[in-house]
Amino acid sequence: MLGFNLPVSPQYIVPPLVLAIIATLLMAFDMRDTLEFHRQLITDGQVWRIWSSQYIHTNWTHLGLNLVGILFIWVLHAEHTSIKRYFAHVLLLGLWTGLGIWLFCPDIRVYTGLSGLLHGIIVWGALKDIQVKEPTGILLFLGIVGKLAWEQYAGPSTDVGNLIDSRVAIESHLIGALGGLVLAIPLFTQSLGLNKSETK
């Protein structure tokens, strides 16, 4: 946990700031019609929408909620990652989430937003906390699991849906979180390797 020592070095500030600026510019220039996940248009050959849809939003409130998510992750886990790793996670989890929606959520016809991939990033960060024996890591991880379980049980929030002018795609949260688990596998294979070395 970072406490009151916020991660203000450029290597920690630049990646989330760039992601926030890109998402804001895409909103300002109204790129939704060109980039959103639209199942019929993807079927017709516009396959880039599977990935590009992860970085655009339905309205400014939707964007604002995800910018808060970016800020939250920066405060909690910026020092766990590097510029290269941050953007690798953003790109890979964006593709993972889009493909997951395409393959496993046929009822989702239109989709936008960073929330799926952000769930993946925060899951990875919580597992990194656990790997480095940060005591709040397990609490954060259990909190995310609880949130996801509640969403799957209770369904999408109507209030949030009204704010963002769209149904909350809770499926993307689960898919993104599973992507974060996959990205975290090397953390624990490395830990197992170190533990084996220490016992020899």
User: Is 161 part of a structural domain of the chain?
Assistant: yes
State both tokens at 50.
């599977």
User: Is 5 part of a structural domain of the chain?
Assistant: no
- Of the candidates 176, 190, 187, the one whose C-alpha atom is nearest the C-alpha of residue 127 is 187
Q: Enter the pTM of the model.
A: 0.92
- Of the candidates 54, 176, 170, 80, the one whose C-alpha atom is nearest the C-alpha of residue 121 is 176
**For the chain, what is the domain count?**
1
User: Is 138 part of a structural domain of the chain?
Assistant: yes
User: Is 123 part of a structural domain of the chain?
Assistant: yes
CATH code where residue 31 lies? 1.20.1540.10
**In sequence order, what E strands does 74-153 have?**
110-111
Tens-binned pLDDT, residue by residue, of the chain (200 aa): 444 578 999 999 999 999 999 999 999 999 999 999 999 999 999 999 999 999 999 999 999 999 999 999 999 999 999 999 999 999 999 999 999 999 999 999 999 999 999 999 999 999 999 999 998 999 999 999 999 999 999 999 999 999 999 999 999 999 999 999 999 999 988 766 555 555 55
State both tokens at 149.
């379980």
State both tokens at 163.
């704010």
User: Is 2 part of a structural domain of the chain?
Assistant: no
Range of the domain at 63: 10-199
